[in-house]
A and B are shown apart, each in its own frame.
Chain A
Amino acid sequence: MSNSNNLLTIKDLYASVEEKQILKGLDLEVKPGEVHAIMGPNGAGKSTMGYVLSGREGYTVDSGSVVLGGEDLLDMETEERARAGLFLAFQYPVEIPGVSNLEFLKASVDAQREARGEEAISSADFLKEAKAACKKVDLPISFLKRGVNEGFSGGEKKRNELMQMLLLQPKLCILDETDSGLDIDALQVVAEGVNSQRSSDRSFIVVTHYQRLLDYIKPDFVHVLSNGKIVKSGDASLAQELEAQGYAWLQTEPTEDELEG
């Protein structure tokens, strides 16, 4: 039985893209305030998990359930999931030329506030908040005027994702390799950004390949996702084990189905 105290409950989730099944019986429970790290080999389905939870088009749920804050997440449109407090920091952030970061952020915040029945924030107040968020992720203020991710360096894009998270104040943040491609200083900036947002009612799923990030962001749990499901869970020390030994010792035996297919 799923715990009704959970913020997120994923049960036996199977999902496909392009007719190919990627998630194969994923289970995960996240309580408010927890930080879960997800590690696992390339191609295991980590990003796919983020897309399926966000309702990205082209990703089909074959079976299983996902409940966020008591609501059936799979029943909602992508934007409704976002408004329900789900945030995904992309592994590969996309550019939107000509649309300024500020304009994009304001529109996002407005849409979410409107959905929650809150009043729209004034442009002046928003600008203040946006400038503060910019500072926090160590991006020059001029980035607010630039097109969304337009010509940003890899690291700047990741910091920009984090800035969006700071402004949207989501309940569940999925960070998909936000640490990849960051220099040491930037890694700290990102970690500080996340840590500053940790609270009893906000949870994080941090997808990473590196134990290093977890030195800064102390996870409550570490999971290994391999071949579409969680094959091992543990506390922070599991990450160290993985760093030392790799994933090979965890690889599950292929099932009969897979051998035949």
Chain B
Amino acid sequence: MTEQIDKALAREYEAGFVSDVESETFAPGLDESVIQRISKMKGEPEWMLEWRLGAFRDWLQMEEPDWALVDYPKIDFQAISYYSAPKSMKDKPKSLDEVDPELLRTYEKLGIPLIEQQMLAGVAVDAVFDSVSVVTTFREKLEEAGVIFCPISEAIQKYPDLVKKYLGSVVAKKDNYYSALNCAVFTDGSFVYIPKGTRCPMELSTYFRINEQNTGQFERTLIIADEGSHVSYLEGCTAPQRDENQLHAAVVELVAMDDAEIKYSTVQNWYPGDEDGKGGIYNFVTKRGVCHTNAKISWTQVETGSAVTWKYPSCVLKGDNSVGEFYSVALTRGRQQADTGTKMIHLGKNTKSTIIAKGISAGKSNGSYRGLVRMAAGAEGARNFTQCDSLLIGDQCGAHTFPYVESRNPSAIIEHEATTSKVSDEQMFLCQQRGLDPEKAVSMIVNGFCKEVFKELPMEFAVEAGKLLEISLEGSVG
């Protein structure tokens, strides 16, 4: 059975094509002059450049972390290009008609048509291609509701007060090695502001695409949900199939003011590398949200791509009665490695957090859950429930759980449950005896395992995620 499953897992990476777009790309290398050039390309104000340079100087003093259960050759930061943009984007197309058709075709091929009439009704998209945002759809409609949804490079110019106030307020510049690097060299990403008491009229989503060779993508996203507002946001990611590893180091900050709610979903499908572990994206991401009184942040992630993933979407439950949730499915196959989980930092009274993490490992891959639950002294009556389930497919893969718990308040309650199971021969046999082919059997068993997480995804994307798993598992049995 193991052999069958392995074969079935040897799937095609459907998003692995390269777009033939003429790009303007910086020569590889990183020093202050590169940062000055990025800042200039983006037409940034002086304060932004200073902010970046400060982060860069911090970064130079920092060490690359090595505590995660992932193994990869040392990254040569001087061999990476820190900026690449389609030439056609230089004149900032004002409307879709002015956007290079090849770019639009790229997104269409990925199943994200940017022509509004063809789009999923009710979803606004910001499409980020290498280092620039190509287009943001439905902007007018959102503006009517007072919602700001634009590339962060534009927000820096148009809404400097908001950006100055919140950028780096949740993830400090020096938080970690990759966040510091991101602060220095980030190129684009999305900015969202939902005004007081507003329910965002549509789903917002950002689609990240890496195209150019040897470039890093350093995206930066900032979402601010003002008092009593509500927003649901989704990000998707893909990259071409290349033999070299590429670095993706993002920072995402969420601010949920009093009574606000942010639902942040990720479907991550970066190129995972080939069967032998050649190529693939290094996905080193810092995601964190802060919840004020009665606010709620819910992270849902479906991670199927990347050669190496290092990612811990977290919640700082600052306000009383605030709620943090983390629902995760992480699938590793081939030689993929994922070290992912969450941090729930309970500061306020009666704060609540729920963690449901599902890890699926196949092939020779390694998946780890790493999670921290911290109950601060003031977290009177706080509660956490954690459930970590691992599913192994075959016998050459690994699943690991590293739960860390710190409690300084005796009234806080922390519950942790963990299970490890296998896709068993018996289950496969039952399915096949009923007429299902082995691929369908595995994907059904895996989907069943992930059910609690999938039901947290917005409808359209739950279907997508299910399909993605199906593709990821294609050939995993044969």
Interface residues of A (CB under 8 A from B): 54, 56-58, 77-79, 81-83, 87-88, 90, 93-99, 103-104, 107-108, 111-112, 115, 147-148, 164, 168
Contact = CB atoms under 8 A, between A and B. Distances in A.
A116 B432 CA distance: 16
A229 B217 CA distance: 67
B440 A96 contact: no
Interface in B1-24: 1, 4
Contacts of A99: 444-445, 447-448
B440 A56 contact: no
B90 interface: no
5 contacts: A78-B433, A82-B432, A108-B434, A108-B435, A111-B434
B437 A79 contact: yes
B425 interface: yes
A112 B447 CA distance: 21
Contacts of B436: 79, 107-108, 111
A113 to B, nearest CB: 9
B144 interface: no
Contact of A94 (B427, B435, B440, B447): B427
A96 B435 contact: no
A116 B303 CA distance: 37
Contact of B425 (A57, A93, A108, A115): A57
Contact of A97 (B430, B432, B440, B448): B448
Nearest to B389: A97
B434 A96 contact: no
B426 interface: yes
Contact of B427 (A87, A96, A103, A115): A96
Contacts of A98: 447-452
List the 10 closest A-B pairs by CB distance, nearest first: A98-B448, A99-B448, A108-B434, A78-B432, A82-B435, A94-B426, A112-B435, A98-B451, A111-B435, A79-B432
Given A94-B427, A96-B427, A97-B449, A103 B434 contact: no
B429 interface: yes
Given A83-B435, A168-B434, A57 B1 contact: yes
B25 interface: no
A99 B428 CA distance: 13
B424 interface: yes
A112 to B, nearest CB: 4
Contacts of B429: 54, 56-57, 78
A57 to B, nearest CB: 6
A81 B436 CA distance: 11
Contact of A111 (B426, B428, B437, B448): B437
A157 to B, nearest CB: 11
A56 B431 CA distance: 11
B462 to A, nearest CB: 14
Given A78-B433, A96-B430, 18 more contacts: A56-B429, A56-B433, A58-B425, A77-B432, A79-B436, A82-B433, A88-B433, A90-B430, A94-B430, A95-B427, A96-B431, A96-B444, A96-B448, A99-B448, A108-B431, A108-B434, A164-B434, A168-B434
